[in-house]
Amino acid sequence: MRRVVLKLSGEALASPASDETIDASTVDFLAREIAGAMQRGGLELAVVVGGGNIWRGATGAMAGMNRANSDLMGMLGTVINALALQDAIESHGRATRVMSAISMDQVAEPYIRRRAVRHLEKGRVVIFAAGMGNPYFTTDTPAAQRAAEIEADIVLKGTHGGVDGVYDEDPRVNVKASRFDEISFDEVIARDLRVMDMTAITFCKDNRLPLRIFDLMAPGNLGRALDGHAVGTLVQ
């Protein structure tokens, strides 16, 4: 794997151990994993970070807010998370750039595909913020879409809640649920397995973009996934 997009949820930055929206030691752990993984020569890593620890558009919409407005709040949440992650990764000695899909010149660079690729080629971790800049999406879809756009080899979706891959049933409901080592996009769609938003799944399928779902919070797992080890589930 040469060029990789890592999707991590906003909630991965929080911690059950503290009631902080962004838990400093959790962000530091993630940054260490990312900076450590970057020691692999030739690896180019872009991160798409979610915002669910701060705001989800659907939550506001359910409470009667205008959906597009509520989604904008969600996208701004991803920018806050991106800055937290940037700070932490740089404290581990790795250069980063935050590129936002919504212009905010004083905060982040605008997303420009060619510029993003150049940063990656120079070994900088690129953090994509504000999703795709469009409401009615979650950050799963921009993870897949940006991956296609920058010609990444794979999308790695890091989980954080203990579910470490794709299961035939929800393992939090049925302890006997079994995990797939590998599964096709068609089967994920046919069984309606909620591993990622369906829009992102169909996008990956249509664009022949492999996807690995794995537990990001297990130390060393990101490196193992990057080395092509069979952690979690490979969807292709």
DSSP state of 17: T
Cβ 130 to ligand UDP shortest distance, Å: 7
Please give the sequence-ordered ranges of beta strands (E in DSSP) within 59-153, or none if there are none.
96-100, 109-110, 125-129
Q: Return the residue of 6, 11, 47, 82 that touches ligand UDP, per CB under 6 A.
A: 11
CB 93 within 8 A of CB 39: no
Binding mask 93-132 for ligand UDP (x = CB under 6 A): --------------------------------------xx
Query: Which of 9, 15, 26, 233 lies at the binding interface for ligand UDP (CB under 6 A)?
Result: 9
Place of tokens 């420009």: 112
Q: Where are the beta strands (DSSP E) in the chain?
A: 3-8, 44-49, 96-100, 109-110, 125-129, 154-159, 182-183, 211-215, 233-235
Take residue 130 and report the two structure tokens written for it.
């504000």
Span interacting with ligand UDP, options 26-34, 74-82, 179-187, 228-236, rule CB under 6 A: 74-82
Min CB(167)–ligand UDP separation in Å = 19
Phi, psi of 181, deg, nearest 5: -75, -35
Contact region with ligand UDP (CB under 6 A), list: 32-40, 45-53, 82-90, 204-212: 45-53
Question: Binding residue for ligand UDP (CB under 6 A) from 23, 44, 71, 215?
Answer: 71
Residues 131-170 that bind ligand UDP (CB under 6 A): 131-132, 134-135, 137-139, 142
Report which of 139, 142, 155 is spatially closest to residue 51, judged by C-alpha positions.
139
**Contact call for residue 57 and ligand UDP (CB under 6 A):** yes
| Dihedral pair phi/psi, residue 126, rounded to 5° | -100, 125
Tokens of 52: 């669910």
Shortest separation between residue 39's beta carbon and ligand UDP, angstroms: 26
Q: Is position 203 an interface residue for ligand UDP (rule: CB under 6 A)?
A: no
Contact criterion met (CB below 8 Å) for 72 and 60: no
* Shortest Å, Cβ 116 to ligand UDP: 16
Segment interacting with ligand UDP (CB under 6 A) among 31-39, 47-55, 176-184, 215-223:
47-55
Distance CA 113, CA 22 (A): 29
Rg (CA), the chain: 17
What is the total count of residues that contact ligand UDP (CB under 6 A)? 22
| Chain positions contacting ligand UDP, by CB under 6 A | 9-11, 50-52, 56-58, 71, 74-75, 77-78, 131-132, 134-135, 137-139, 142
